Chains A and B, each alone.
Chain A
Amino acid sequence: MALEDYQGDMGMCCRCSACKFIPMQKVKGSEYSYACPSIAKYNFHAYSAGGRLNIAAAMLKNGFNYTDKLLDIVYNCQMCGACGVSCNYAMDMEVLEPISEFRLKCVEDGKTNPALDKVISGLRKQGSMVPAKGKRGDWAAGLNLKDATKEKVDVLYHVGCLTSYDKDMQKLAKATVKILQKAGVNFGIAGNAETCCGGRAYQMGYKEDFLNQAKKNMAMIKKAGIKTVVTGCADGYQAFKVLYDRFDLKGDLVVLHISEYIDKLIKDGKLKPRKKADISVTYHDPCRLGRLGEPWIHWKGKKIPGDRFVFDPPKPYRRGTNGVYEPPRDVIESVPGVKLTEMTRIKEYSWCCGAGGGVNESNPGFARWTAQKRIEEAVSTGAEAIVTACPLCEKTFNEAIKESGSSLKVYDIVELVEKAI
């Protein structure tokens, strides 16, 4: 699909501004009512989903006039998809897809963001979205883990770039290993052979780089005969499960996020969190595990001429309904002593951590601003800690907390479970 293919969808935008807010019946007052970080920060309607669609439609009609402001609008979006959920409560139209296609077109036309170019350059050289110091599998030194590319395993644990290379985040990989070992799972890692999933490259607009990464990963997986992949980050989850499927690369690979897998292990009686934690927490839904983690729906059809925006065959929309919402909550609540209090913006209408879409690299100040809003929301629940299920969320929250001086603690779900087993 290209931007042109979404002309009908863009034409359906009635400029109602619903995309700016969480679904109306979920608004609890004047605080935490916004869904879209970009419009909340930059205020001009152009930074909302509706504004983006109207701009894209106008440029398709009148020609693409790239200005610095236009690129500022294009790249100051976390691609978090909250806009689409709010719109699609009432409307039948694609929202995030044309926004994403607009960014892909910018990259195709060479209108890139220098900070993102640098990240992609690193990806092309090192197979990583974060600076790669040392080898990718160094974190596993001494753990004596199976090499999934050589040994027969039931599960490949795909660690992800940030967790592999960032010394502060490697604790998540080690916690995951401990959990899987405790549950007796026959798992392995790809170690130095692991490479980036490519998901964030796609978010940033670099489709070809995404496809290169996806093909490399799937070639390795097929060669090793791996049937199930468990990812430690939400970006990886969405890439393997949704994007690979979208581009017909996934095949019958089973993709699970670590929170889903732990939930399954607990429910199957293979893992029992026993140690009491005595902590009050709130849970942050990562965008790409939640609303954007719902399965891809393969569909082809034509608009039926006439009064309605309907298709033959009927078009099923991904409205965020089938994201992963309950498994992480069930895992958290399975830990004795943990009290879970929800924030206002949760599940399909969760507020983004701020790091998505390359914003962490292209505009770190905006990423931290977005994270800070989430920290304030978490603090308002009275929780001592915010639990998330993505290392990028954890990192961004910690940076915001460091800047603001908040005493809120941040944990990945695997850290919480590790303490309880």
Chain B
Amino acid sequence: MALSKEVYKEFEDMVGEENICNDPAIMPAYYSTDFAAVILPGNTAEVQAVVKLCNKHKLQFRPICTGWSGMFPKDIILLDLRRMNHIIEINEKNMYAVVEPYVISSELQAELFKRGLNFCIKGAGTNCSAMLRGHGHMDQTTSGDDRNHLAIEWITPEGNIVRSGALGSSDEWFCGDGPGPSLRSILTSAVPPGVTPGVFTKAAIKLYHWPGPSVYPIEGISPHYSLSEIPPNMMARYFSFPSVEKMWQAELKIGESEIAFELMGFNVSMVAANITTCNEEEEETFNRLNSEVQGPGFFVIIAGDSPSDFEYKKRVLEKIVSEADGKSLKAVEDPKIEGILMCQCTRISASIRETFRNGGAFNSIPIMGQRDLTIKWAIGAGKAKEPLIKDGYIVDDGGAFFGWGVEQGHLGKTEIFCKFDPANPEAKAAVEGWQKEQSMRAFKERYFASTMGPQDEIGPALLNYHLWWRKLTKALDPNGVSPEGGALV
């Protein structure tokens, strides 16, 4: 549906002619549909004005940041938040940072490292918005999901500005729950649809201590980056174990002893993806590493606050791994490989090499909850991958899954995915079938997977939350202008 000249002019007056476009040429850049227009708001006031106009003309809108992709209905107003890319504040004393949506994690993290601080980098990668809710490599020490958002500035679907938490009663961002309105369950919900209508325009992110260097000593030319030296008091290792039970026991003890900066339950296919520079090298490396490991394993980064702290943590790690009959993967003991992995996991958040390089697409099932239980589910989902591997639909990663502890193992996440060529319809169908089947299995076995099914199916098992969510959505969005999809993609 094309906008009338008059309506287009109203939007144009809000953002300037250079920041709105309805030319069909630009649409495929975003998604394979026709948008009514793409608009680039530059600040909160412009977002609010645009959203109010959308309400006035009953036009649906959705915001978008760096990507990756999303589902975008036809004829909506797409708000590309590219111009909202400012770090508003880094509050070292109170350990939070306030950012606009298009500040990417790599930018914020680089600024934080200079100050001895860090924050949760989500698995989507450091190329994505620092505001994203989610999990990542460093959850062990930086927590994850909704726990890292403090006060949030939110444009509701009707175009009102809501400032949550401390920001609701002051100009401070230090708390998401008060004094002022706590809207945590609405703004940062993990339950499907797991997204909030409206637009987030600023958010305060919780910061954590960073024991590493202010800048990694990177050498080499892309794609052969490595560290010229392993930073003082830091170490990265990969351990494999004779059984899942042994691995889990070691993981649990490492969490209890609070010695790991990062613990990522990588499989070796993901190690191989991260340390290699092309698909062929990755396949060869995976086959080699796979023959060296004795079973499931995890990747650990130890980071000491002092030489003695580092020595203590190393000794505890050695003892725990030894008691669980763990075996260190020799390849990762090579300082070059160790440095690449350390940097990949903390500065890149790994994702692109792991997920898209092989075939161009992947489908994932993330499961939240206690690691020892979710691993059991994941083993089944891994077995279910085997026929797809055999048929050549998905990349052979040994049926592997991965996962990690959050907050030293108090919480956990396990995930499994299939990498495939989306241009192959048979492969796509097979992967979608696998995802649907295994998500349903998760639901039936009472695991929490964000892919587990339509709200009407899962809602009754979750206190009919979906009915309440719909009432809330209706109240927040009486004109139905903010379709499901979220305040931030």
| Residue among B66, B103, B216, B355 with the highest chain A CB neighbour number at 10 A | B66
Check A50–B360 contact: CB distance below 8 A: no
Q: Which of A245-253, A261-269, A318-326 lies at the binding interface?
A: A318-326
Cβ-defined contact, B278 with A347, below 8 A: no
Q: Does A157 contact B (CB under 8 A)?
A: no
- Report yes or no: B125 in contact with A24, Cβ–Cβ below 8 A: yes
Determine whether A308 belongs to the interface, using a CB cutoff of 8 Å to chain B.
Answer: yes
Among residues of A, the one whose C-beta sits closest to the C-beta of B215 is: A28
Whether the pair A92, B357 counts as a contact (CB closer than 8 A) is yes
Do the beta carbons of B221 and A25 come within 8 Å of each other? no
Interface centre among B28, B86, B395, B424 (most CB of A within 10 A): B28
- B222, A43: Cβ atoms under 8 Å? no
Would A15 and B69 count as touching, CB distance under 8 A?
yes
Binds B, one of A83-91, A113-121, A145-153: A83-91
Kindly state the separation between the CA atoms of A349 and B106 in the bound complex, as whole angstroms.
16
- The answer to whether B114 and A29 have CB atoms under 8 Å apart is yes
Across the two chains, which residue of chain A brings its CB closest to B39?
A: A44
Q: Which of A67-75, A162-170, A396-404 contacts B (4 or more CB under 8 A)?
A: A67-75
Stretch at the interface among A53-61, A176-184, A219-227, A329-337: A53-61
Interface residues of A in 339-382 (CB under 8 A from B): 347-349
* Minimum CB–CB distance for A49 against chain B, Å: 10
Q: Which of A16, A59, A67, A70 has the most CB of B within 10 A?
A: A16
With A12-B360, A29-B111, A307-B392 as known contacts, state yes or no: A18 contacts B223, CB within 8 Å.
no
| Interface 9-residue window, one of B157-165, B232-240, B415-423 | B415-423
Contact between A14 and B68, CB atoms less than 8 A apart: yes
Minimum CB–CB distance from A27 to chain B (whole Å) comes to: 4
B14: which A residues are within 8 A, CB to CB?
none
Chain A proximity of B11: nearest CB distance (Å):
15
CA–CA, A317 and B222, complex, Å: 12
In the complex the two chains form, is A16's CB within 8 Å of B221's CB?
no
Chain B positions 432-478 with a Cβ under 8 Å from a chain A Cβ: none
**Which residues of B are found within 8 Å of A11, using beta-carbon distances?**
360, 422-423
Pairwise interchain contact A90-B357, C-beta atoms closer than 8 A: yes
Taking CB atoms, residues of chain B closer than 8 Å to A228 are: none
Q: Which residue on A lies nearest to B418, using beta carbons?
A: A307
CB under 8 Å from chain A, chain B span 326-360: 343, 347-348, 352-353, 355-360
CA–CA, A314 and B125, complex, Å = 28
- Measured between alpha carbons, how far is A321 from B29 in the docked complex, in Å? 28
Residues of B224-260 at the interface with A, using a CB-CB cut-off of 8 Å, are 224-225
How far is A302 from B424 in the complex, measured between Cα atoms in Å? 16
* Contact pick for B110, options A28, A43, A44, A46, CB 8 Å: A28
Q: Does A17 contact B (CB under 8 A)?
A: yes
Q: Is A306 an interface residue (CB 8 A)?
A: yes
Is B28 in contact with A54, judged by CB distance below 8 angstroms? yes
Supposing A23-B225, A309-B279 touch, asked if A55 and B29 sit within 8 A by C-beta, the answer is yes
Chain B interface: which size bin? Answer: 35 or more
* Structural contact, B222 and A51, CB atoms closer than 8 A: no
Q: Which of B26, B125, B224 contacts A73 (CB 8 A)?
A: B26
Q: A54 — which chain B residues lie within 8 A by C-beta?
A: 28-30
Indicate with 1 or 0, residue by residue over A31-48, a CB within 8 angstroms of chain B CB atoms.
001000001000111101
- List B contacts of A348 (CB < 8 A): 221-222
A20 vs B107: C-alpha distance in the bound complex, in angstroms?
13
A52 within 8 A of B: yes
**A309 to B395 Cα, complex, angstroms:** 11
**B42 nearest CB neighbor, chain A only:** A43
| In the complex, chain B residues whose CB is within 8 Å of the CB of A20 | 66
Given A16-B68, A308-B395: A321 and B221 within 8 A (CB)? yes
Which residues of B are found within 8 Å of A14, using beta-carbon distances?
67-69, 352, 355-356, 360-361
- A residues less than 8 Å from B279 (CB atoms): 92, 308-310
Contact between A26 and B218 (Cβ–Cβ < 8 Å)? Answer: yes
Query: In the bound complex, what is the Cα–Cα distance between A28 and B396 (angstroms)?
Result: 36
B170 within 8 A of A: no
The answer to whether B26 and A55 have CB atoms under 8 Å apart is yes
- In the complex the two chains form, what is the Cα distance from A220 to B373 in whole Å? 75
Query: Is B427 interfacial (CB-CB < 8 Å)?
Result: yes
Pairwise interchain contact A51-B359, C-beta atoms closer than 8 A: no
The answer on a CB contact under 8 Å between A317 and B278 is: yes
Instruction: Tell me the residues in window 79-134 of chain B with beta carbons closer than 8 Å to chain A beta carbons.
Output: 80, 82-83, 85-87, 103-104, 106-108, 110-111, 114, 125-128
Contact B359 A46 (CB under 8 A): no
CB distance from B272 to the nearest CB of A (A): 13
The stretch of B17-25, B142-150, B300-308 that contacts the partner chain: B17-25
Q: Tell me whether B393 is interfacial, beta carbon within 8 Å.
A: yes
Q: How far is the CB of B240 from chain A (nearest CB, A)?
A: 25
Complex alpha-carbon distance, A28 and B347, angstroms: 11
Instruction: Report B433 CB to chain A, min CB distance, Å.
Output: 16
Chain A residues with Cβ below 8 Å from B394 are 307
A88–B40 Cα distance when bound, in Å, is: 28
Q: Is the CB of B106 within 8 A of A27?
A: yes
Residue in chain B with minimal CB distance to A25: B347
Are A309's CB and B359's CB within 8 A?
yes
Contacts of A309 in B (CB 8 A): 279, 357-360, 421
Partner of B106, one of A24, A45, A314: A24
Minimum Cβ distance to chain B for residue A328 (Å):
15
Beyond known contacts A23-B225, A325-B221: 5 more, CB 8 A cutoff = A8-B423, A44-B26, A86-B222, A319-B277, A322-B221
A selection of 26 A-B contacts at a CB cut-off of 8 Å is A14-B356, A14-B360, A15-B67, A18-B125, A21-B106, A23-B222, A25-B218, A25-B225, A27-B107, A28-B110, A30-B103, A43-B19, A43-B80, A44-B26, A44-B40, A46-B30, A52-B29, A67-B23, A69-B25, A86-B222, A89-B223, A92-B279, A307-B359, A307-B392, A309-B359, A319-B223
